[in-house]
């Protein structure tokens, strides 16, 4: 979906409209919305109120999760000591926020406004273990590797990733799935932002073999796909990357000087 900068209520309503018919898909387990979908990146729209994610977003996520009987994932600003975190929230079907993750890697000029988080996050849910990251975090393979080492079977990535870096987005998503043998579900914003940046979409689910299960798209739409983490065991037996790791060797480096 696109984001109308600073127009929270309009963005909430647009998201509600887009997911209105999800029930016909036999009920999704996860609903993922783009990074900062409700407020955008125009910093003049931010209000440095009391610490914490705006309560209206928390209410929206909790209500939507309950209504759709799904986990709902997105990010919003979190004021803190004169700056902000870009904070991911996961709302559960029982109408509560079960955890949060602060974006670890603000991108370039974002560092003037956003602080980077210092902890990764893995969610132990009823049927699956889920790791999360946000947009630019995707460029750091250490993040997904660490999430996978803690047992993540699915990595969810809300993003606002603009042109001309669509090839990077598509390639990195597949790489993270292949190298960690996990599912990757990524949701990206579409259309133009206030600063002239164009967001190309390409929201997608990539399976643990690295196959993209959704078609490439750049329009506003719902992307629905189903994965089966049972296949991960067979893939890891066929290509034994995890059991063939040599952690002792990775921690040692010999430097040769000419």
Domains and CATH numbers, the chain: 8-247 (3.60.110.10)
Catalytic residue among 3, 35, 62, 153: 35
Is 135 tagged catalytic?
yes
- Taking the C-alpha atoms of residue 100 and residue 90, their distance in angstroms, rounded to an integer, is 6
Mean pLDDT value across residues 37-62? 91
pLDDT tens digits for range 229-247: 888 999 999 999 999 999 8
Closest by alpha carbon to 74, among 46, 54, 44?
Answer: 54
pLDDT tens digits for range 98-131: 999 999 999 999 999 999 999 999 999 988 999 9
Q: Which band of pLDDT confidence, cut at 50, 70 and 90, is reported for residue 50? A: confident
pTM over 0.85: yes
Is 197 tagged catalytic?
no
Catalytic residue among 68, 110, 135, 153: 135
pLDDT tens digits for range 127-156: 899 999 999 999 999 999 999 999 999 999
Mean pLDDT value across residues 198-218? 96
Is the Cβ–Cβ distance between 10 and 44 less than 8 Å? no
Is the Cβ–Cβ distance between 36 and 75 less than 8 Å? yes
Cis before 164 (ω within 30): yes
- Taking the C-alpha atoms of residue 98 and residue 78, their distance in angstroms, rounded to an integer, is 16
- Taking the C-alpha atoms of residue 230 and residue 246, their distance in angstroms, rounded to an integer, is 26
Is 187 tagged catalytic?
no
Q: Is residue 174 scored above 90 in pLDDT?
A: yes
Instruction: Pinpoint the alpha helices (H) of the chain.
Output: 8-18, 55-68, 141-149, 166-180, 231-238, 247-250
Catalytic residue among 103, 110, 115, 187: 103
State residue 48's pLDDT score.
65
């Amino acid at each position: 979906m696109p984001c109308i900068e600073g127009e929270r209520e309009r963005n909430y309503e647009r998201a509600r409209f887009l997911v209105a018919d999800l029930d016909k898909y036999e009920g999704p387990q996860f609903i993922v919305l783009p990074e900062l979908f409700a407020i955008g990146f125009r910093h003049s729209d931010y209000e440095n109120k009391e610490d914490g994610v705006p309560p209206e977003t928390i209410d929206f996520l909790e209500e939507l999760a309950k209504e759709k009987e799904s986990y709902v994932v997105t990010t919003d600003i979190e004021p803190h000591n004169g700056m902000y975190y870009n904070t991911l929230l996961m709302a559960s079907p029982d109408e509560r926020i079960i955890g949060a993750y602060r974006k670890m890697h603000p991108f370039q000029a974002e560092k003037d406004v956003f602080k980077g988080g210092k902890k990764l996050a893995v969610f132990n849910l009823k049927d699956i273990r889920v790791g999360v990251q946000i947009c630019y975090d995707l460029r750091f393979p250490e993040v997904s590797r660490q999430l996978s080492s803690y047992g993540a079977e699915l990595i969810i990535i809300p993003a606002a990733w603009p042109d001309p870096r669509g090839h990077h987005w598509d390639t990195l998503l597949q790489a993270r799935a292949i190298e960690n043998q996990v599912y990757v579900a990524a949701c990206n914003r579409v259309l133009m932002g206030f600063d002239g940046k164009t967001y190309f979409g390409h929201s997608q689910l990539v399976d643990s073999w690295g196959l993209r299960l959704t078609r490439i798209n750049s329009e506003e739409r719902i992307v629905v796909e189903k994965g089966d983490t049972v296949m991960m065991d067979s893939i890891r037996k066929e290509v034994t990357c995890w059991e063939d790791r040599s952690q002792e060797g990775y921690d040692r480096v010999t430097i040769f000087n000419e």
